[in-house]
Amino acid sequence: MAHQHWYDNLKSVVIKRSPELKLNTQFLDFARHFGFSIHLCNPYRDNEKGRIERALKELRNWLRVNTFEDLKELNRKVSLWRMERNQRIPRVTQKAPLEALREAQTLASDSLPYF
């Protein structure tokens, strides 16, 4: 498990930022229980959120250049885009997201206790 976790300004994590930072006490208890530290991204700083912000930007750009007759066609095309995107191999992990998901599911099922 990672020892540091980065968070955006979710209400479940950050109650308010000014005049002073106030974190959700239940989330702080959760972090203490599982032994990880909370790091907050600065507001409106895309570069701190990395991969997810890039994916959202790419999806928005894709939506701007495509047309759709109806919701059914939109869902079909987005599904195809998502399948294509999930086969790309990121520099950091060197594994396609679908492959990484399968590995994580295998690890999770292997670690389940047997009764």
- Whether residue 74 sits in one domain with residue 26: no
Q: Rounded to whole angstroms, how far apart are CA atoms 26 and 39? A: 16
- Whether residue 56 sits in one domain with residue 31: no
- Whether residue 42 sits in one domain with residue 63: no
- Whether residue 79 sits in one domain with residue 96: yes
- Whether residue 65 sits in one domain with residue 103: yes
Q: How many domains does the chain have?
A: 2
Per residue in 33-91, pLDDT (tens digit) is 988 888 888 877 767 777 677 778 889 999 999 999 999 999 999 999 988 888 888 77
Per residue in 3-36, pLDDT (tens digit) is 778 888 888 899 988 888 899 999 999 999 988 8
What are the Cα distances from residue 99, in Å, to 39, 84, 104, 105, 111? 28, 13, 9, 10, 19
Q: Which domain holds residue 99?
A: 51-110
- Whether residue 33 sits in one domain with residue 61: no
**0.75 cut: is pTM over it?**
no
